[in-house]
Structure 1
Amino acid sequence: MTAPLTPHEEPPGDPSHSPPPRQGADGERTGAAKVRQAALVTVLVALSGAVLGALWLWLAPHVLLVSDGKAVYFKNSEGEEAIGADGVFVLLALGFGVLSGALVFLVRRSGGIPIVVGLALGGLLGAVLAWRLGGWFGPAGDVAQHARRVGKGVVFDAPLQLRAKGALLVWPVAALAVHLGLTALFGPRDPEPGENAMGVPFGNGHGGPPRG
């Protein structure tokens, strides 16, 4: 015969008294991984701004200037050409925003706030990089010096400028709109109340609690 268990004795291997799983460390690792992925998205999207800057420099219409030896004048009407440069930047930024938003969704379909923030920040930095590169590698910024160098009566290009600074927001806004739209349509959804993680209602004989 065996002695009855005392209140302080427990049978070995009782699963009801096993310590709860440590989920805090797993959550921290998952959060850190998402932050690293968001940082990578920011860097890659921002670096693609160099391509946008090169395309803007290539496709934007040039504003032509000419000097009479004393002053510099616009050779043609300046308004349409300047507006055209802004319009080309907006269209290119819109395309880059749609493309980057779709690519990030396809690569990281699970989404998450860090990914969304990284995408928006990368789009803004990419637009700023494109704007600066277009100015740096475009025609000389010192118009007076350039006019003296080319000489009187010689037509030359004005510096490439982005007059509407609000165009810098087109890329991040378009990227967020596309990414959030695709996530809403095709992303993983949370289970509805009364469903398990697989989307199966409880109590139907497929993993739900037994019926009384």
Structure 2
Amino acid sequence: MQKTDRLLQILTGQAVIPVVAVDSIQEGVGLARALAKGGLKAIEVTLRTPAALEAIEAIVVDVPEAICGAGTILKPDDYTNAVKAGAKFIVSPGATVELLDTAKKSAIPFLPGSATPSELLAMLQEGYEVLKFFPAEQSGGLSYLRSLAPVFQGVKFCPTGGVSPDNARDYLALPNVVCVGGSWVAPKALIKDGAWDEITKLAAEAAGLSAD
């Protein structure tokens, strides 16, 4: 199976991809279990904390039902270290020549971010048709994505940034949106408190979202 197909399999498996930051291995494992229990098996652990890579490694080993990816990948070392930790997919808010070169050499699928027509053209030239749209709301949101659809036919997006239960269905209704990324399913306060049952409940609600 090609990398793009594997990435699409992950992204189409659930309407919402949780985008989370954790401060410890214990938080990461507990959170991944709670989200998977609620139906959100794919999770993006962002490299925004010192514990992120160790947490990804622990999730891969201790929560086999989860599909753990790594986000906030800003440089090649981030990509390489995340893959070593066992990440099943890699997400970046943008793309550089160096990141794209690293992605080409890796067997792990890459979801690069693109927000402008020029960036989209560059990504298409590199062979990417599945992209992150970030920050979604601040970059024009629903109307912007809607305007891109007739021009960039075949390109699919995972909008992230400002997506919430209030607008997620509207994003999912767009023909060029394959899923959305969101942090609301795992509020920081609930993670800190270890309120896994509450997070499982939020995950189950998010898992049930659709464009309908």
TM-score normalized by the length of structure 2? 0.20
Q: Say which structure, 1 or 2, has more relative contact order (CA 8 Å, 6+ apart).
A: 1
- Structure with the larger helix share: 1
Structure exhibiting the larger radius of gyration computed from Cα positions: 1
TM (normalized to structure 1)?
0.20
